[in-house]
Each structure stands twice: as structure tokens, then as C-alpha cells.
Amino acid sequence: MLGKLMKHEFRATARLMLPLYLVIVALAAFTRVTNWVLEKNDNGILSLINGLFIFLFIVSLFASVIFAVVMMIYRFYKNLMTDQGYLMFTLPANIHELLWSKLFVSVIWFIGTVLVDILAGFIVTYESGMAANLFNGFRDLFSQLSTYYALNGTAFVLEAILAFLVTMLVGCLCFYAPISIGHSFANHKTLLSVVFFFVIQFVLRILNIFGFASLAQSFPETGPSAVPTQIVTLVHSAAWGYIAYELILGGILYFITWLMLRRHLNLQ
């Protein structure tokens, strides 16, 4: 059932996300072309058009990220909290499947947006041999880090990817939880969703402060005299500490969302 829900979630979102990706790539291509023409033939109007394309291109990069976040919020609200909820909550699917279908698809679009933005960046700035240079640069960086800090490059990359994925999932739940709480009330559902969003954010900020304070105290001295292995241990510990913290936070927010949808659903 999760697969079917994801399929329909993709259908609902792809009709908006794919044209957006197309616009970003097209803007990147236009920017690239105007850059190229300007190199050959410099004149005022071309410079103006080129400047306009560069501006639109940069705006589109930011807009794509904002759009992906807005769509994640809107899909949850529209599909589960409005009249469509009568259809979705009476499907032969449980609340976990409904939630995970939205979470997975949102995260996939976030990753897709980052990749398309990177691709667009390449289109605008690409030069012959750039990809090879970039690859070699990363390889050298890891090689040096491995030599000097005895850093396990693979573990570091995996930790970074895991942290990125967990952050995105928790990011979605930071919106899902307050929306589901706000919509359990009879009136002022949207207003209350916003209020609960800020309440949750306030609590999280307080927890973050305490979390960082205790983290800082628990680590050994890592000043300039610290040996490289100590720094590596610190990096790994911090990464896993962050992932664990996000997982606990995500678990709490997920439970709140599930509980509200399961026990306190209040469709109009």
C-alpha cells in the first residue's frame, strides 16, 4: 500500500516539480548562451540581457528550494487536512503509510531539487576539464584528510549523507506535527497550526542550547595542541551525536503527528 500511495504522491507533485526543474535548466542554458555570446561580442543590450538571465537564474535556484518546502507543507495540509482527507483516511491504508509516503516523496524532491540546482550550476559555469578537476580535487582532499587525520573518508561521507537525510525528514515533521495539532481543534485551525509551529520551534531552540552546552562540556580539549586523531574522533562523535539527536526529535514529532491523526482527527 505504501508503494501505491507513493506512486500517487509522485503523480500529484511531479506535475509541479518537473516543470520547475525544466525552467531552472532552461534558465541555466540561456544564461550560459548569453555568457558565451557576450564573450564574443560585448555590447550594452547583451550585457543587460545577460545580467537579467543571471539574476533570474540565481532567483530560480533559491525559489526551487523554497517551492519544494512549500509543496511539502501544502501537500500534507491539502491532502490530509481538507476535504480530501475524507478520501485519504478511508483508504485501506494506515496512518503510518500515509505519513511515510509523504515523507519519502518530499525527501526525494528535496534531493532532486539539490541535484537539479547543482546541474544548473554546472551548465552555467562548465569549462572543459572542470568535472575531472572537481573529481580530482575531492579525491586529493580526502586523501590528505585520510593521511593527516586518519579520517575514514567513506564513514565521513556516509555520516554526512545520513545527517542530511535525517535533517530533511525531521524538517518535514517540524511542519507536520503543528499542522496536525492545529487541525485537531474545531476552529481557527490554520492560526493554531502557526502558533504550534512557533511553540515547537521555541522548545527546539531551548533544547538545542542545552544540547550544545552539554556537547561542548563532554568533549575533550581540542585546542591547537590536540592530536589529529582526537579531532577525527570529535568529528565522528559530533556527527553521530547530531544524527541521534535528530532521530530522537524526529521520533517525538512523528509520534505527535501520528497520535493527532489517529486519535484526534477533526475534519470539517
Site for another protein contains 187 (CB under 8 A): no
Task: Pick the binder of another protein from 12, 14, 162, 234 (CB under 8 A).
Answer: 12
Q: Count residues near another protein (CB under 8 A).
A: 27
Stretch that binds another protein, among 84-92, 176-184, 212-220, 223-231 (CB under 8 A): 84-92
Stretch that binds another protein, among 28-36, 149-157, 222-230, 259-267 (CB under 8 A): 259-267
* DSSP states along the chain: -HHHHHHHHHHHHHHHHHHHHHHHHHHHHHHHHHHHHHHHS--HHHHHHHHHHHHHHHHHHHHHHHHHHHHHHHHHIIIIISTHHHHHTTSS--HHHHHHHHHHHHHHHHHHHHHHHHHHHHHHH--TTHHHHHHHHHHHHHHHHHHHH---HHHHHHHHHHHHHHHHHHHHHHHHHHHHHHTTSSS-HHHHHHHHHHHHHHHHHHHHHHHHHHHHHHSPP-STTS-HHHHHHHHHHHHHHHHHHHHHHHHHHHHHHHHHHHH-----
Nearer to another protein, 12 or 56 (CB): 12
**Shortest gap between Cβ of 26 and another protein (angstroms)?**
24
Stretch that binds another protein, among 107-115, 160-168, 171-179, 256-264 (CB under 8 A): 256-264
Site for another protein contains 83 (CB under 8 A): yes
Site for another protein contains 35 (CB under 8 A): no
**Shortest gap between Cβ of 58 and another protein (angstroms)?**
30
Site for another protein contains 92 (CB under 8 A): yes
Nearer to another protein, 86 or 202 (CB): 86
